[in-house]
Structure 1
């Protein structure tokens, strides 16, 4: 599978694999790669159906976990620190349960356990909209609902980049990823045994602090950080705070 994925590697040291979310690509982690690659080997890739990676027959949470394992195997990586954003955090949780021996630590940014039942029909409706109308309307809605008031008012370049990354998605690949998230089942996170960090924004409507705190309470020994004036596009909106939290956490468990 790895040969069909767009993979980039930066730096040297203990491996860190980076898994983006719905509507994202590996570029979601560009602000982090600059900081982390000074100390770690950063491996980032586009999930099947997103960005520069081809759509596969299995665009699902299980298929995404298989893709992570394929990337690890292709690089000869036995164990890695695993970092995810949004949908990517769901993949992280299932990976840590399915193959705990491959996961050295988890960093979950804008984390989800699974979509609330009320959100599942909306995700399927979004998939239908992508197929029927393309990505422009979806991109505008995501910028409006997914970024903080401070980002929209004072950092329009971040809002512009979020819009661009959504508009560059293949509508069918994005639609299938929406359906994969809509079908996602929660992982048994009480079984996660590795060190875990959760980060979310105080204005994140997708991963609101109360929900993330509830998720953290189910993961033994996990740590939670809540960033101020931050929406769901955490890595863009508060890159310095995310980088500081990640570097400190990864060094603490290295």
Structure 2
């Protein structure tokens, strides 16, 4: 797994969401560097990390533990946004002795209904050849029904080749594993798991990812949970309200 390390102190791993990369939480990482050793990762099928044909939360949690072992850490704090928040939760639930505390940004430990079909359709139908450039790609995604902000975010995954462009992310792998990404199954026998150490859930008040109906599932799995809501923020709360988000996370981790 590709990663970058900065700062010094107790280790904190920052995990991005679907279609992202290690730069998504760079602002948060910079704000933590004076107090913590910060590790920002490219998840499998994203950024510069390896491509997987099969991607689920138990295997992703195992990959995080392998990284922790590789770096020589006994235990860490973890912050994750969206899909990265699910990976953070899965790691804490499956390997609680390796996770000291947990911050989950705008996601709940539940199964969601599909909500990325338009994005996948737009990405899949974009022709990547010598006639493609970032401007035409942006126009294509917007014409496919993707808002401009999301389209600009997605196009950060484009990298130039001799024949035009290609995706850094494993688009086919993400499509094939999407049901597992929106799902929430950590054990074959569905046995209940819970993480009894401190954890913080942060949501944007304009987001529909963490709702009142998710409260019971959150408390059942994370009984020591505390919660914060950032007003005027949606699902991309770390980008929309970075100063507030960074301060909340730093205060909790300290």
Residue 249 of structure 1, CA deviation: 0.5
1:216 Cα deviation after fit? 4.1
What corresponds to 2:46 in structure 1?
Answer: 50
Which structure carries more helix by proportion?
A: 1
SS in 1 for 2:77: strand
Counterpart mapping for 1:36-115 below 5 A? 36-115=32-111
Distance verdict in 2 for CA 1:161–1:34, change over 3 Å: farther
Structure 1 partner of 2:125: 133
Distance between the aligned counterparts of 2:182 and 2:84, measured in 1? 14
Structure-1-length-normalised TM-score: 0.78
Tell me, in whole angstroms, the C-alpha distance in 2 between the residues paired with 1:20 and 1:86. 7
Residue number in structure 2 paired with 1:162: 153
RMSD: 3.0
Alignment counterpart, residue 238 of structure 2, candidates 227, 235, 238: 235
CA distance in structure 2 between the partners assigned to 1:201 and 1:136 by the alignment: 27
TM-score normalised over the length of structure 2: 0.78
Structure 1 stretch 179-188 or stretch 193-202: which is displaced more?
179-188
Shift of residue 38, structure 1, vs aligned partner: 1.2
Are the counterparts in 2 of residues 25 and 50 from structure 1 also a CA contact under 8 Å? yes
- Relative distance call for 1:17 and 1:237 in structure 2 (3 A) is same
Aligned length: 230
Question: Which string of whole-angstrom CA distances, capped at 9 and with x for unpartnered residues, describes residues 192-234 of structure 1?
Answer: 11100000101112x1342454444332121100011111112
Find the counterpart in structure 1 of residue 228 from structure 2: 225
- Of Structure 1 and Structure 2, the greater strand share is in 2
For structure 1, which segment, 131-140 or 230-239, has the greater mean C-alpha deviation from structure 2 after superposition? 131-140
What are the ranges of 5 or more consecutive residues in structure 1 without an aligned counterpart? 145-151, 153-157
Q: Is the 8 A contact 1:216 1:224 kept in 2?
A: no
CA deviation vs aligned residue, 1:56-75 (integer Å, no higher than 9, x gap): 24322122112101110110
* SS, match of residue 24 in structure 2: helix
| Partner Cα distance (2:224, 2:178) in 1 | 31
SS of match in other structure, 1:162: helix
Q: 1:201 to 1:139 in 2, by over 3 A?
A: farther
Say if 1:57 and 1:208 are closer, same or farther in 2 by CA, change over 3 A.
closer
- Give the greater-gyration-radius structure (CA): 2
